[in-house]
Amino acid sequence: MPIVAHTDLPTFQRLREEGEEIVDPDRASHQDIREMHIGLLNMMPDAALEATERQFFRLVGACNQIVQFHVHPFTIDGLTRSPKAQAHIDKYYEPFEKIKQEGLDALIISGANVTRQSLPEEAFWQPLTEVFSWARENVTSVLCSCLATHAIIQYRYGIARTRLPEKRWGVFAHKVMDRNHPLVAEINTRFDVPHSRFNEIFQSDMEKHGLKILAVSKEAGVHLAVSEDGFRIVFFQGHPEYDDISLLKEYKREVMRFYHAELADYPPFPEHYFNKTVRRIFIDYEQQVRTARQTGQQLGEFPEHLVLDYLDNTWRDTAKAVFNNWLGKIYQLTDQDRRKPFMDGVDPDNPLGLSL
């Protein structure tokens, strides 16, 4: 159902241009449809800030519940911002204090870049834990993406993530582990998810602390898990919100870092993402990059336009289905007053009535 453009956030207009259904506030006010209010704590770096808005907004808007979605982006202190990104935040994002006062039905927490060896050393750690502590008491369900998953698991369960020997990067096949759980109802038992990370929390560590594993890859590890109550916290280690070109953009960034001598080694291809044609194009371009770096000659344009038709999105439908299941269950558990995250008779420690 539609997202309501309740502010002048440019993402609303961008999504309209892409063909998404975005409703203006006046039209929304004349519809007798229930509202759901979803927070988006956007911690992504400047280059991905607005793309992250669009990616998560699309998944919310694809939900088929009879509801008007109001998405409320906000951020926290401790994240370095350029003047342009900070101006965007100051103009379009809501203060966390306002979020707390008005309440939310659900909360999405994005990933973030890190600069320290240990997450509790990051400048954003304390503000992030304050948001999570509030949400645990006041929001029906919190969905954590990638770095947010690692941070919240360490904060809540004391499990520190492990540095991988090399970057986990590409599109990986996953298998559903519990077909009866509402979050994975009626989705394919095998599905793809992009991953892009240097660290991992392993399945065995999650299970030791009672987390329920819902989707696992033999190559990439756990993608989807939930807290011990079955629903209050949803954990993504992958990036189902990614666009079909997101990994391409990351690859381009890494290639440019090599060209500017910020990396010693040329970046590998993301796994299971580029076909043979794309690989040949980028192998040829690698020779240009290496020559330009050695000789100081001007580097030719990154051949993005030559590969776009060869990139397939093999994860979006499943991502939409999981979000639909998530928001649909929240719709059932919440009432019209967003300050009351559970209806009468629902056990907040086991909201789905699962056998835990």
DSSP code string of 271-283: BTTS-HHHHHHHH
Distance CA 250, CA 9 (A): 25
Q: Which of 6, 50, 146, 223 is catalytic?
A: 146
Helix (H, G, I), strand (E, B) or coil at 16: helix
DSSP lists the bridge partners of residue 171 as 194
How far is residue 196 from each of residues 111, 166, 190, 337, 350, measured CA to CA in Å?
Answer: 11, 11, 20, 38, 32
pLDDT at 348: 61
Q: Is 241 a catalytic residue?
A: yes
Taking phi first (over 0 means left), then psi (-120 to 50 degrees means alpha), and beta for anything else, what does residue 16 get? Answer: alpha
Task: Please give the structure tokens belonging to residue 45.
Answer: 């770096």
Taking phi first (over 0 means left), then psi (-120 to 50 degrees means alpha), and beta for anything else, what does residue 261 get? Answer: left
Q: Is 146 a catalytic residue?
A: yes
pLDDT at 355: 54
Q: Which of 50, 53, 241, 250 is catalytic?
A: 241
At residue 170's C-alpha, the angle toward residues 169 and 175, to 5°, is: 110
Q: Which of 181, 239, 250, 254 is catalytic?
A: 239
pLDDT at 29: 84
pLDDT at 344: 47
Q: Is 144 a catalytic residue?
A: no
Q: What are phi and psi of 185, to 5 degrees?
A: -65, 135
* Burial class of residue 271, CB neighbours in 10 A (0-12, 13-18, 19+): middle
Distance CA 164, CA 182 (A): 31
Distance CA 28, CA 13 (A): 16
Domains contained in the chain, CATH given: 3-242+314-333 (3.40.50.880), 246-310 (no CATH)
Q: What sections of 34-163 are H helices per DSSP? A: 49-61, 83-92, 96-102, 125-138, 147-157
Give pTM, 2 decimals.
0.93
- Dihedral (Cα; 227, 230, 231, 237), 10-degree rounding: 50
pLDDT at 49: 97
DSSP lists the bridge partners of residue 235 as 144, 225
pLDDT at 303: 97
Query: Mean pLDDT in runs of 10 for the chain (356 residues)?
Result: 91 95 89 92 97 97 90 97 98 98 97 93 98 96 97 97 96 96 95 97 97 98 97 97 97 97 97 98 98 94 97 97 96 67 55 60
Task: Please give the structure tokens belonging to residue 285.
Answer: 């371009």
pLDDT at 342: 47
Distance CA 174, CA 195 (A): 11
Residues 331, 336, 337, 340, CA torsion sign: negative
pLDDT at 64: 83
DSSP lists the bridge partners of residue 144 as 109, 235
Closest C-alpha among 196, 193, 174, 198 to residue 251: 196
